[in-house]
Amino acid sequence: MPLPISKTKALLEWKLYLFIVPSVLLIAIFSYYPTISAIYHSFFMWGGGDTKEFIGLKNFTDILGDKVFWTSFITIGILVIANVFRMIPSIFLAVLIHRLKSDRWQYWYRVMVVIPMIVPGLVTLFIWKFFFDPNLGVLNAALDASHLKTLLVHMDQFFGWGVFYEGVPTAWLGEPALIIPALIIWGFPWIGAVGVLIFLAGLQSIGTEVYEAADLDGVTPFQKFLHIELPLIMTQVRLSMVLMIIGTLQGFGLQFLLLGPDGGAGGRGMVPGLWMFNRAFIAGEFGYACALGLFLFVFILGLTWINNKFVKVDK
Amino acid sequence: MNTPPATVRRKTGDLSKHIMIWAILALELLPFYMMIQISLKTNKMFYENTWLPALPQDWVWKNYVDAFHLIMPFVANSVVVSVTATVGALFFSLLGAYFFARYKMPGGNALWAAFLLLMLLPGVANIVTLFALLQSLNLLNTLWALIILGISGGQVFCIYVLRNFIEELPKDLFEAAEMDGASHLKQLIHVVIPMSGPIIGTLAILQFLGSWNDFLMPLVILRDPQLFTIGVGLIYLDGEYVKQWGSVMAAFFVASLPLLIIFLFTMKLFVRGLSAGAVKG
């Protein structure tokens, strides 16, 4: 704990305040000011420059009638749910690594899990964009080689999706109906290095004697997971789920890189953050973009509040 | 009863786990395998042979020559921005953390609350108004804008971690230094910094990664191709219509090289830093 200090001594130590001045100035100018400025400008028609016109709540009433924005909310909802499932392989891998007897292998697998992190996320996304390419893309080649394509074509005929045809390369990012699936598939098998590492940290507290006792009782591997491992990493799972939801809701880098600022064919990949970006930097409607951003801001803040109030994360 | 001893049973059980782990990791690392093997082929070689690497004598090193020409300027800009932003962020957050950790200064609690609040506030609306702010500060189309944003963006998390760390340091050390007439700055340099090597290293890696991977702010700030950082540079390359996939993949590899070099030297810090980074989200 910091030492208590009397008023008079604090006056003598006034120089200590100089230490905090740069940080305070930085966050005031580059974190607080933009937020306050966004609230202020959401009541204006504003093109980003000096001229602006006060229009009251018009930006907000416009949001109510903005079909693109509400559709983008449905899209992001689907992606959030998909991301919950995308967490499963990381949990599975962490449990597998943890159950190994050899510490040396555990360490080396951990290093290998981290390796994708040294490739910039942008590069990974671009490689996946290349995988999705209809003509040279590796994904189509893999589907053809494994005959999964034939299965998909049959399923297509059965369900009437109208997207997979024999002999026609699938345009993953060009076909509106496939955009959301592509946004979910990318990154398969969805191992998140940070996720695996924090799950492993949570699992560390299980002693070998627990496993030995379980072995003696003839517990199956899946029961071990349900009754021994999962309860111990529940805190970490919940924490990373909360961070994932907040991150997914406000993120739009993925959609921007794979699909461009218009959300791809038919705008099917449009998400709220990207729509805000699009309105500001493509349409030049900065005031409206501020209102959209503010709407998202309040929405996420509400979720954070609910989480802090009702979901207890013991740390 | 003829059950094998527990150790033997466990060994055989582990084999299937190793296989599963290898299978998952192989799929996970597939994109990087493809990146490296395609980076050594021409387009024609790639169409004829998608999956397997070319024979060593056929490797097309010219792709790397092209890639270096294309993106070395971007890499150089990124190095300047990321290194400066990392050093700056750590310098100012060390000062800030020392302020919070050393004494309960009047007003300290209110300031601390202002910092913590930023951890909860989503920054989603900021990109629009930050752009306007940088415009009025005449910082658009400069690398300084990225450096300053990198420094200020790191303050909250770094101060949060460093404050907790400095508070754990033995108080006697500070008192002894004070007896010798050391100023606060000297105490910071001679007491705090020598003892917090690993934590500073961890934070530095996280800052550097964040800065290196950023592409949205550079995209809206930078107009001049000479100033492009790696993020915008790759987006710019991606926009080209006819692509030599070999040189594109080689460019991707070159863009990852600085991080690879850091990784090789700081593997332990890297692994720990990423676990800590989970809290930052």
Q: Which of B14, B153, B281 sits opposite A100 (nearest CB)?
A: B14
Question: CA A26 to CA B92: how far, in whole Å?
Answer: 10
* Residue A19 domain-assigned (yes or no): no
**pTM for the full model?**
0.89
pLDDT tens profile B133-164 = 999 999 999 999 999 999 999 899 999 999 98
3-state helix, strand, coil in chain B (%, to 5): 80, 0, 20
d(CA A25, CA B183): 23
- Interface mutation vs chain B, best among A31, A239, A308, most B CBs within 10 Å: A31
Residue A158 lies in a domain: no
**Chain centroid to CA A223:** 30
Contact between chains at A124 and B231 (C-beta distance less than 8 A): no
Would you say residue A94 lies in a domain?
A: yes
| Cross-chain residue pair A304–B151, CB shorter than 8 Å | no
Can you give the pLDDT at residue B8? 45
Section A249-261 average pLDDT: 92
Best mutation site among B81, B124, B215, B242 for testing chain A: the one with the most A CBs within 10 Å?
B124
Q: How far apart are alpha carbons A156 and A165 in whole angstroms?
A: 8
Q: Would you state the pLDDT for residue A163?
A: 82
d(CA A256, CA A274): 7
User: Is A29 in Cβ contact with B17 (below 8 Å)?
Assistant: no
| Residue B229, token pair as written in the block | 């950082």
Domain count, chain A: 1
Torsion of CA B2, B6, B8, B13, to 10 degrees: 110
| Burial of B107 from C-beta contacts in 10 A (0-12 / 13-18 / 19+) | exposed
Please indicate whether, in this complex, the C-beta atoms of B103 and A35 are within 8 angstroms of each other: no
Q: Which residues of A fall within a CB distance of 8 Å from B27? A: 188-189
Angle between helices B6-38 and A121-131 (to 10 degrees): 80
In a domain, residue A26? The reply is no
Report yes or no on A47 lying in a domain.
no
Cα–Cα distance measured from residue A269 to residue A261, given in angstroms and rounded to the nearest whole number: 10
Cβ–Cβ under 8 Å, residues A56 and A43: yes
CATH number for position A245: 1.10.3720.10
Can you give the length of chain B in residues?
281
Window 184-223 of B, Cβ < 8 Å to A: 184, 209, 212-213, 215-216, 220
Per-residue pLDDT, A315? 44
Distance of CA B106 to the CA centre of its chain: 35
Residue A217: inside a domain: yes
Residue type, B139: L
Give the per-residue SS3 of chain A: CCECCCHHHHHHCCHHHHHHHHHHHHHHHHHHHHHHHHHHHCCEEECCCCCEEECCCHHHHHHHCCHHHHHHHHHHHHHHHHHHHHCHHHHHHHHHHHHCCCHHHHHHHHHHHHHHHHCCHHHHHHHHHHHCCCCCCHHHHHHHHCCHHHHHHHHHHHHCCCCCECCECCCCCCCHHHHHHHHHHCCCCCCCHHHHHHHHHHHCCCCHHHHHHHHHCCCCHHHHHHHHHHHHHHHHHHHHHHHHHHHHHHCCHHHHHHHCCCCCHHHCCCCHHHHHHHHHHCCCCHHHHHHHHHHHHHHHHHHHHHHHHHCCCCC
Q: Is the dihedral of CA A270, A276, A277, A278 positive or negative?
A: positive
Instruction: List the single residue in B213, B234, B271 with the smallest CB-CB distance to A110.
Output: B271
Q: Do the Cβ atoms of A26 and B152 come within 8 Å?
A: yes
Q: CA A185 to CA A120: how far, in whole Å? A: 19
* CB A196 within 8 Å of CB A94: yes
Q: For each successive 10 residues of chain B (281 residues), what is the average pLDDT?
A: 46 80 94 93 87 88 90 94 96 94 88 89 86 92 95 92 89 87 87 88 90 91 92 86 84 91 83 61 38
Is residue A285 one of the residues assigned to a domain?
A: yes
pLDDT value for B3: 46
- For residue A219, CA distances in Å to A214, A228, A232, A295 come to 5, 11, 17, 50
Judge whether A115 and B30 are in contact, CB under 8 Å: no
| Inter-CA distances, B178 with B10, B105, B120, B182, B191, Å | 58, 17, 37, 5, 11
Tokens of A52: 């602006």
Residue A243: pLDDT above 80? yes
Do A37 and B132 count as a contact with CB atoms less than 8 A apart? Answer: yes
| B184–A191 CB contact, under 8 Å | no
Q: Does pLDDT of A16 surpass 70? A: yes
**Which residue among A20, A195, A293 places its CB closest to the CB of B96?**
A20
Full domain range(s) for residue A208 = 62-120+178-310
Q: Among positive and negative, which fits the CA dihedral B2, B8, B10, B13?
A: negative
| φ/ψ bin of A284: left (φ > 0), alpha (ψ from -120 to 50), beta (otherwise) | left
Tell me, what's the pLDDT at B7?
47
Give the domains, in start order, of chain B with CATH numbers: 72-280 (1.10.3720.10)
Residue of A nearest to B50 (CA): A138
Out of A45-49, A79-83, B83-87, pick the least confident.
Answer: A45-49
pLDDT tens readout for residues A121-180: 889 999 999 999 888 888 888 888 888 888 888 888 888 787 888 878 888 888 888 999
Check if the beta carbon of residue B106 is closer than 8 Å to that of residue A7: yes
Per residue in B209-230, pLDDT (tens digit) is 899 999 999 999 999 989 999 9
Q: How far apart are CA A44 and CA A294, in angstroms?
A: 13
Given a contact cutoff of 8 angstroms between Cβ atoms, the answer to whether A15 and B184 are in contact is yes
CB count within 10 Å of CB A136 equals 17
CB-based contact (8 Å) between B130 and chain A? yes
**Mean pLDDT, all residues of chain A:** 88
pLDDT for B276 equals: 61
**Residue in chain A lying closest to B232 (CA):** A122
Interatomic CA distance for residues A2 and B164, integer angstroms: 10
Task: Identify all chain B residues contacting A123, using CB atoms and an 8 Å cutoff.
Answer: 35, 234, 252, 255-256
Q: What is the pLDDT of residue A35?
A: 93
Contacts of A195 in chain B (CB under 8 A): 278
Of B153, B235, B274, nearest to A197 by CB-CB distance is: B274
Per-residue pLDDT, B5: 47
A9 occurs within a structural domain = no
Length of chain A: 315
Tell me if B155 sits within 8 A of A26, measured CB to CB. Answer: yes
Contact A293 B102 (CB under 8 A): no
The answer to whether the complex's ipTM is over 0.85 is yes
- Residues from chain A that touch B32, judged by Cβ atoms under 8 A, are 115-116, 119, 127
- Chain A positions touching B259 (Cβ under 8 A) are 118-120
Q: Taking 80 as the threshold, does the pLDDT of residue A207 lie above it?
A: no
pLDDT band at A209; cut points 50, 70, 90:
confident
Closest CA to B93 of B191, B169, B193: B193
Rounded Cα distance between B193 and B178, Å, is 16
